[in-house]
Structure 1
Amino acid sequence: MSFASHARRVRDRTLPHDVRYAALRRAAGAYMPLGYTATWEYLVESAGPPGEDEGALLRGLGLLERGRAAWLGEMESFGRRRRAQKRRGHGPRGDEGRYRTGPRWHGPDAREAVYRTVRTRWAPMVGAATMPPETGDAGLAAELVRAYLRSGGRVDATRWPDLRRCAARLRRDTAVPEVREPGARPDGTRDGTRPDGTRPDGMDGAGPDVRRLAYLAELVAHDAVPLVRRGWTGDAVEVRRVFLAATAGMPYLRAAEPDVGTPEWIDGFLGCGYAHELWVAERHGRVAGFVTYAIDQVGHLFVAPEQQGQGVGADLLRHAQRSRPQGLTLRTFLVNTRARRLYERLGFVVSGHEDEPGEPDVVYDWVPRR
């Protein structure tokens, strides 16, 4: 039966409560963004015991339905964007593929769901006889998970690269070896280990604690660190929202280019050539900020007000720097002191001024150190 069929049975008051409870369990099995056990644990912790209370039963179903609706919308948009980008010759990025398919709650309950899951899964590790590892990628993951929990669900932006790298490496290193024959691992065992407990891929140290840390590191990365991905015309509504919100108190910015973020503006910009790129920072399925750049020049960098001061702008600008290692130029208004502090912190230096009508400009150059 489909998720929708199970959901209908949960809501059917003519059925016995235990049948409706079983239907909720099956619905959680049909949509389990955190894995079945973690998804069910979150539903019970957040909604109450559904086996005893009808209100908890319906609240749990509501959590599942909101998350699933957000996920379906996200995947539909992802599919349309990938088709459009293929026509432009842009291939897929592995980090986004894992972000879409890896452990992550979707929709408005995302932050609470992931934070509760990380807290619940971390508690037995620190209370166990063997503490979490303290060295290597596993030790780094443990350190970052602790920081995430202490801060109430955040990771300092300066640690985002570390978290991305260690989460990716742990996921790779704890992967079970591929099946070479139906129903068998390379050595004939079911879980990829030899009879003596060692692994044929050399990851003998990847015990249960390391695998749990790999899962937690990925959850934290998907929750606390924005996904930086290539933008397209379908992002117009979100990009326009970010631009209007970011410039609400700075009319000189909005007046300079009033059409920023409209579908026509995005199409026109991207149509100028392969070197013209729009990248967005996505967090919990929404655009948190965006940057545009061409051959050697950054054109726009805006971050939604609620996301400012959290490292999103710096993350986008660093992406532009990595993409243009030969150097970059940008212009900003002299009165935009907040943006200027960001540029100077990331190595841009003033190279000139332009006294055009209206607010004067400052020209910044960035040349990487050799």
Structure 2
Amino acid sequence: MRDERSPLVRRHAALRCAVGDYGPLGFNATWAYLSATACPAPDLRRDSPALLRALGTLEESRAAHLAEMETFAARRQGEKAAGRRTPRASDMAALRFPRWPSSSPPSRLGLIAAVANRHSAFQRIPYPDETLSPDIEVRQLAHLHARLEDCAASYLRALGRLDRRAAAELTDTVHGIHSLTRPGYSPLNMYLLQWLRFANLLTYAIEESLTIEH
């Protein structure tokens, strides 16, 4: 990746492999974040300095992630010795949900790009057939889908600057989607879990925007 004697196409592929190994926002959202923050002109496939900037951003985040994991492991060792076998809910959330580990606040531009990328994918997800779950009213699905779409569109229109009312609206929407998921295998889950993955990224981006603003 760093070898400037190597063809750009090969270095570009190497960076994509690196994102495949470490993509804290998910592969596509992480790639969108790196592309935006590296400021490629016209894109990463043709800009060697931008490739190196993107790699540096990814490496910095991974170093922060590894440091967090070391701290987490040390704390859990002490907690287990004290008889606490179950990790804190906040610790598990940090491991499960999208987040950009870093020694400094994540880039607002990068998060906007990540949300925009996944918003486009969300809009392409086929809408679930109401017959997949007869016990759920079609109106519920349509309402939650529309609310999530509105939250994302508002975030993007505001360029990542939303108030706490909008954040609360998204939280309520996420809870509504969660309430429709079913344990184990459910045909409807294949749609709702995709909605939730996007909603979790959007939630993180909005929470970070509120933190940065204040």
Query: TM-score under structure 1 normalisation?
Result: 0.43
CA distance in 1 between counterparts of 2:78 and 2:120 reads 44
How far is the alpha carbon of 1:103 from its aligned partner?
A: 2.1
The one of 195, 202, 205 equivalent to 1:220 is 202
- Which position in structure 2 is the counterpart of 1:73? 67
Question: Which AA in structure 2 matches 1:203?
Answer: L
| Contact 1:11–1:20 (CA under 8 A) maintained in structure 2 | yes
1:29 maps to amino acid: G
Cα RMSD after superposing both structures: 3.7
| Change over 3 Å in CA distance of 1:162–1:93 after alignment to 2 | farther
TM-superposed deviation, 1:118: 0.9
Does residue 120 (structure 1) correspond to residue 117 (structure 2)? The answer is yes
**1:135 paired to 2:143:** yes
Q: Number of matched residues?
A: 194
* 2:51 paired with 1:57: yes
Aligned: 1:22 with 2:13: yes
In structure 2, which of residues 73, 76, 82 is the aligned counterpart of residue 82 of structure 1? 76
Q: Give CA-to-partner distance per residue, 1:225-283, whole Å, 9 cap, x none.
A: 3xxxxxxxxxxxxxxxxxxxxxxxxxxxxxxxxxxxxxxxxxxxxxxxxxxxxxxxxx6
Find the aligned partners of 2:75 and 2:63 in 1 and give their Cα distance: 18
Conserved in 2, the CA contact under 8 Å of 1:38 and 1:117? yes
Task: Letter of the 1:151 partner, please give it.
Answer: A
Q: CA deviation at 1:75?
A: 2.2
2-structure distance, mates of 1:99, 1:169: 22
Which deviations, in whole Å up to 9, do the C-alpha atoms of 1:5-49 show, x marking residues without a partner? xxxxx1123434333232212111111112223322333344222
- How far apart, in 2, do the equivalents of 1:172 and 1:80 lie? 35
Whether the aligned pair in 1 keeps the contact of 2:122 and 2:198 (CA below 8 Å) is no
| CA 1:41–1:221: 2 relative to 1, 3 Å | closer
Specify which of 102, 105, 108 is matched with residue 100 of structure 2. Answer: 105
Q: Is the 1:21–1:57 Cα contact (8 Å) retained in structure 2?
A: yes
Q: Which amino acid aligns with 2:87?
A: P
> 1:135 is matched by which residue type in structure 2?
H
Deviation for aligned residue 1:119: 2.0
Between 100-109 and 164-173, the greater mean CA deviation after superposition:
164-173
Change (3 A) 1:92 1:165: farther
Judged with a 3 Å threshold, the aligned counterparts in structure 2 of structure 1 residues 31 and 171 are, in CA distance, closer, same or farther, namely farther
AA in 2 matched with 1:144: C
Measure the CA separation in 2 of the matches of 1:170 and 1:117.
Answer: 21
CA contact (8 A) 2:122 2:195 kept: no
Higher relative contact order (CA 8 A, sep 6+): 2
Q: Deviations for 1:300-336, whole angstroms, at most 9, x for unmatched residues?
A: xxxxxx765xxxxxxxxxxxxxxxxxxxxxxxxxxxx
| Structure 1 residues 125 and 21, CA gap change in structure 2 (3 angstroms) | closer
Output one character per residue of 1:185-226: Cα deviation in whole Å (capped at 9) or x when no partner: xxxxxxxxxxxxxxx52527x54xx5543222101222333x
The secondary structure found in structure 1 opposite 2:46 is coil
CA contact (8 A) 1:147 1:154 kept: no
Q: Distance in 1 between matches of 2:112 and 2:182?
A: 24
Mapped contact 1:145–1:216 kept (Cα < 8 A):
no
Aligned amino acid, residue 55 of structure 1: P
Distance in 2, Cα, partners of 1:127 & 1:19: 30
TM-score by length of 2: 0.68
Richer in helix (by share): 2
Which one has the bigger strand percentage? Answer: 1
